[in-house]
Amino acid sequence: MTKQRVIFCDFDGTITENDNIVAIIRHFNPPGWEAIVNAIVSQAKSIKQGVGELFRLLPSSMKREVVEYAISNARIRAGFADLLKYCKDNGIDFYVTSGGIDFFVYPLLAPFGIPEDRIYCNGSDFSGASIEITWPHLCGPDCATECGMCKKTIINRFPADRYERILIGDSVTDFEGAKLVDTVFARSHLTQKCAELGLPCHEYETFHDVIDQLKLQEATR
């Protein structure tokens, strides 16, 4: 029997051209953010720890500016709507697995009609003095990485004997998931990481590159 294909697609730096978390923090420039970002990327600090610390540098009173900046600054990578259509036409399930935050992920994805239960991301709480990130999708027992939003845990709900698993990503939130799946589409830090780990990956710049490769794979199924 042919396996059901399922795509797990990152958001920041993948669906959007840039990393929104880094863009927000760089724009508002609170003292100390650079060291935290570097520690996350070098994996000296867990993603959960680091992202939590970054947003705690911003007061909740800045909610409106932060949300407006995030949404107006982001650019969707070329070919995204075409990839969604390709998936629909070819029976590929499409999930967004994002280490990003609800207040920009949901509004930016709203035009594309992806069901909300297929979008995984972190939450936010503006009720305290500073912005607090909430974590509705923590690592399960199989993951000790402190991902915050754990892609590995979500991917493991789609067993390899029934699903052909495809990951599209760009950076540190994708490293664990990339080790599990059948096909990795990579750019930026994720490309380097795959090379280090000896994992094959397909490099992409736009989602049209991803569609072209999926069509090649389709032909040999």
Give the total of residues touching Mg ion (CB under 5 A): 5
Find the part of the chain contacting Mg ion (CB under 5 A) among 34-42, 104-112, 138-146, 167-175.
Answer: 167-175
Q: Please give the span between the terminal C-alpha atoms of the chain, in angstroms, as a whole number.
A: 11
Nearest to 200 by CA among 218, 217, 221, 219: 217
Q: Report whether 107 contacts 71 (CB < 8 A).
A: yes
Q: What DSSP state is assigned to residue 12?
A: I
Tell me the closest approach of the beta carbon of residue 46 to Zn ion, in angstroms. 9
Find the part of the chain contacting Mg ion (CB under 5 A) among 2-10, 25-33, 38-46, 108-116.
Answer: 2-10
Interface positions with Zn ion (CB under 5 A):
139, 143, 145, 147, 150, 152
Residues 221, 28: Cα–Cα separation, whole Å: 48
- Going from the C-alpha of 17 to that of each of 11, 102, 133, 189, the distances in angstroms are 9, 18, 23, 14
Which residue of 23, 87, 170, 175 would you call a contact of Mg ion, by CB under 5 A? 170
Closer residue to Mg ion in complex, CB, 124/171: 171
Tell me the closest approach of the beta carbon of residue 48 to Zn ion, in angstroms. 9
Binders of Mg ion among residues 106 to 125 (CB under 5 A) are none
